[in-house]
A and B are shown apart, each in its own frame.
Chain A
């Protein structure tokens, strides 16, 4: 627990993957945040993911 507590006592620097709104909320609270422009492969289309996996 002590290590986690130490983490929250230091300045948070966040890399956000996923919903952009999470990053924006942190930014509004003056937390340093970098948003990673990430999306699931093939937009999450299972059929396309299966096709791509056959070629890799």
Chain B
């Protein structure tokens, strides 16, 4: 009996995930469009965390966010404000949002608005700042704040008008194309960024802004291969949210890290997070950095793997296998292995080198615990100190404890209902 309940619940969960139609519909201001956002709210990546337990890059991004908002003049002011208790921290995930790395979102930041047209729910994500010293890696120097202000006053308004002229952009179809073009949607976003520019270029030209501003916007997007990541992420978030809360479902609907802890949420277990200390990423470090410099795993970007792309589609992204410290056969092996712990082959995201097989989608906690195979995540590495930035990239896995604790809670819930002894 219980097997049937789980089977039906998982089928419904997968139906919802696979039928999602994430669509870019606009750009708004976080304080206006994100539910529950206030001028003193700071959203962050990962499961809930207190200031005292935050890692360096997250603390740095919080400091930068407060300076950007004009709530603090400098680092000392920002820390005093946080310690006064006036600032409310909350995970992006609790507000239909996701953020890469530190994932800090403050009220004035522009955000992409993605609608899942099948279910009418929304997801939000900030615009990608580029590489190097950026807020999401914990940097908060003057140039970081200046760039965020330019994004607020030029980049976002130009793109907002251009998206308005273009009309809704089907992200599901675009992500399916980029997987065919050598992106895996997490650590390689070159094809996605290129396609987005192609989609928007003519509309950007048709906006009411000056030529200089249009050129700045196009150059900014073109100089940042990861620009599309901040659209893939809310596309995935909007695809997974309707699959949350299906009783008896053992499918993972969120995985995330705050730089201190890794957390997962399971459809049949509601809003609960199952957490364990975040792992150190195994990968290649940029010249001049050592393993000692690396912060534990951080960011909401693992929402891509939760949806069946990212590390799960590594076989599609042969061009970056060396960047994360592997070879082409490793990439194929990783993608194949993920079928052991998932519920379905994706009906839209397909991998050419695997004979166009759909990516492994829908992580099942029962399969993870039984096989001992953990999801593979393809990610960036942040410096552990605030203000330094990205120091490498590589592969990481969640702690098994998250899945074991979730399985135990799932069986406890069934026991309480008298469905199992």
Contact = CB atoms under 8 A, between A and B. Distances in A.
B333 to A, nearest CB: 11
Contacts of A47: 408
A55 B372 contact: no
Query: Which secondary structure characterizes the binding site on chain A?
Result: helix
Interface in B366-381: 366, 369-372
27 contacts: A41-B371, A42-B369, A42-B370, A42-B372, A43-B372, A45-B404, A47-B408, A48-B369, A48-B370, A48-B407, A51-B407, A51-B408, A51-B411, A52-B369, A54-B411, A54-B414, A54-B420, A54-B421, A55-B2, A55-B3, A55-B6, A55-B366, A55-B410, A55-B411, A55-B414, A55-B420, A56-B3
A39 interface: yes
Contacts of B404: 45, 48
A39 B420 CA distance: 27
Nearest to A50: B411
Contacts of B369: 42, 48, 51-52
A41 B370 contact: yes
A44 to B, nearest CB: 9
Query: Which secondary structure characterizes the binding site on chain B?
Result: helix
Interface in A1-56: 39, 41-43, 45, 47-48, 51-52, 54-56
A20 B224 CA distance: 45
Contacts of B421: 54
Nearest to B373: A39
Nearest to A44: B372
Contacts of A55: 2-3, 6, 366, 410-411, 414, 420
A39 B421 CA distance: 27
Q: Which 8 A-B pairs have the closest CB atoms?
A: A54-B420, A43-B372, A51-B411, A41-B370, A48-B369, A42-B369, A51-B407, A54-B411
Given A42-B369, A48-B407, A54-B420, 19 more contacts: A41-B371, A42-B372, A43-B372, A47-B408, A48-B370, A48-B404, A51-B407, A51-B411, A52-B370, A52-B407, A54-B2, A54-B411, A54-B421, A55-B3, A55-B6, A55-B366, A55-B410, A55-B411, A55-B414
